[in-house]
Amino acid sequence: PGPEGHGDAAVRGGAGRAWGGQRRLSLSLSLSLYAQTLQNIPETQVTTLENGLRVASEESNQPTCTVGVWIEAGSRYEDTKTNGAGFFMEHLAFKGTKKRPGSAFEKEVESLGAHLNGYTSREQTAFYIKAFSKDMPKAVELLSDLVQNCELENSQIEKERGVILQELKEMDSNLTDVTFDYLHATAYQGTALAHTVEGTTENIKKLTRADLASYVDTHFKAPRMVLAAAGGISHRELVDAAKQHFTGTSFAYKEGSVPSLPRCRFTGSEIRARDDALPLAHIALAVEGPGWADPDNVVLNVANAIIGRYDRTFGGGKNQSSRLAALAVEHNLCHSFEPFNTSYSDTGLFGFHFVCDPLSIDDMMFCAQGEWMRLCTSATDSEVTRAKNYLRNAMVAQLDGTTRVCENIGNHLLHYGRRIPLEEWDARISAVDARMVRDVCSKYIYDKCPAVAAVGPIEQLLDYNRIRGGMYWVRL
């Protein structure tokens, strides 16, 4: 090549070095801003009242706040006859109290321009209000009225009974939720975690006012509750409001009357609900995972980030970083898949769920289990680094809005007994390396009996013993 060619190459080389320098500078600034963000997060203040109620808050300069009550109550605390009581109570909670009968409660919330919501899960129930910061004391008073003075008026009970029965019919069409309910039913068969959150149609028809009142009297007590708040509020004002409204002798347990956590044991087994009239198969496979407080959860979340998730609507095609996603695209294995790590107090479900055509079930299961085995035997440093960055991004996203922060506070105090700072989470994530991923995945996955739930046209799903055989590799 002539002199011009060398000159062009020199220019390109210089531009490349300049671009590389800018990229390194940008990365350095990003890491610095990330570290600064973690350090500047306000401290979570926690005060425990004499009756056992924990009051926790994170103060900021937001013009709004979210205040909520998180309660250690859910379907795990129900028996076969009362399953669904907690979900029923969630519906009734917004339908009036002894102080504010009928629609007066909802109208008072709306008069503040506030938003009221709630949910029930297997181990917790929550009610929260998003309002202007100046209305925080009023929000606390409304929440205290809701959890202490729910009216349980007979006409409202019958009205909500019809609403819930209609919801149960609609839920049957959500095959993802149906599959996960079946997964719990087989993994924790014969125990309280096998119950659905919503309860059975038969139970909803039979539950009485006395059943619901007993559920509230047993579980809606101060030692089982966290009053959490986030936004433009003062912790001292929050504590004062809690002392004023969350009171009463009926709000505390008598000595020796605290209900214990029902024990639940994982069982490797399966449930198959074959329906060839459905167009797609929904399949979930899980092994027993750790409880909330187990440090192995961080490593398993890194492993799930390596597996990734996929949906046909995603861009990227076979060039995605997830190996399983690339295989799914290249060989048309499924419509979607997603790993999960569902934790409870003393156990959990670690697995994956996928939706696919009837003739792709065997291939998709083979590839998904193969990815599990690869994590147990040959996870690499580069993919662990990528997964850790993904988790950090998801972690910082928790800072987005007062409602997410408030929910994070309530969940942490119920599950861990304290709010774990993001700096500590970041340190835990940073400590994970490829060897830890291989060791922890081997501990929970390798040669373990899985629980399997399958719904739809699942004729091609292999026998359970064949699926069990995919939980290990014969290495020569």
Q: Are 285 and 445 in contact (CB under 8 A)?
A: no
Backbone φ and ψ of 178, nearest 5°? -60, -45
* pLDDT tens string 224-234: 999 999 999 99
Which of the residues 59, 90, 123, 383 is marked catalytic?
A: 90
| Cα–Cα distance, 199 to 178 (Å, whole number) | 13
* pLDDT tens string 9-20: 444 455 445 545
In this structure, which long-range contacts are made by residues 173-180, counting pairs with CB atoms below 8 Å and at least 24 apart in sequence? 175/278, 175/280, 175/282, 175/455, 175/456, 176/282, 176/353, 176/355, 178/273, 178/282, 178/455, 179/282, 179/283, 179/284, 179/353, 179/453, 179/454, 179/455, 180/284, 180/353, 180/453
Q: Where are the alpha helices (DSSP H) in 340-421?
A: 361-378, 381-396, 402-415
Q: Are 243 and 418 in contact (CB under 8 A)?
A: no
Average of per-residue pLDDT across 51-60: 94
Tokens of 25: 């500078």
| Cα–Cα distance, 356 to 359 (Å, whole number) | 8
Q: What is the pLDDT of residue 256?
A: 52
Q: Are 204 and 84 in contact (CB under 8 A)?
A: yes
Active-site residue 90, yes or no? yes
**Could you tell me the pTM of the whole model?**
0.89
Tokens of 272: 């198959």
Confidence of residue 5 (pLDDT cuts 50, 70, 90): very low
Question: Which residues, at least 6 apart from 110, have a Cβ–Cβ distance to it below 8 Å?
Answer: none
Q: What is the pLDDT of residue 315?
A: 75
Average of per-residue pLDDT across 150-154: 88
Q: What is the pLDDT of residue 19?
A: 47
* pLDDT tens string 263-308: 899 999 999 999 999 999 999 999 999 999 999 999 999 999 999 9
Strands, E assignment, 138-249: 225-231
Tokens of 161: 């009974």
Q: What is the pLDDT of residue 319?
A: 79
The pLDDT of residue 208 is above 80: yes
Average of per-residue pLDDT across 168-173: 92
